[in-house]
Amino acid sequence: MGSFSLLHWLVVLVIVLLVFGTKRLANGAKDVGSAIKEFKKSLHEDDKPTDQLGSTSQSTASGPQQDHGKH
């Protein structure tokens, strides 16, 4: 009762095509695809600076400890 058959999905697809038109749906799908691509790109870019910041913070954390020991 909760799942739809293939016929139900085809009827829904035809109704959506009639309401929105193929050009409008194609533009919407293109926009969604580019948004997903940008999202994945930003996730990938966020990983790189985190690694670089982690190594920088470790070197700065060890730097003051060495200077503090000399005084």
Nearest 10 degrees: Cα torsion 38, 42, 44, 45:
130
Higher pLDDT, 70 or 43: 43
Provide the whole-model pTM: 0.45
Most confident of 7-11, 19-23, 51-55, 67-71: 7-11
Over the chain, what is the mean pLDDT?
Answer: 78
pLDDT of residue 44: 84
pLDDT of residue 47: 74
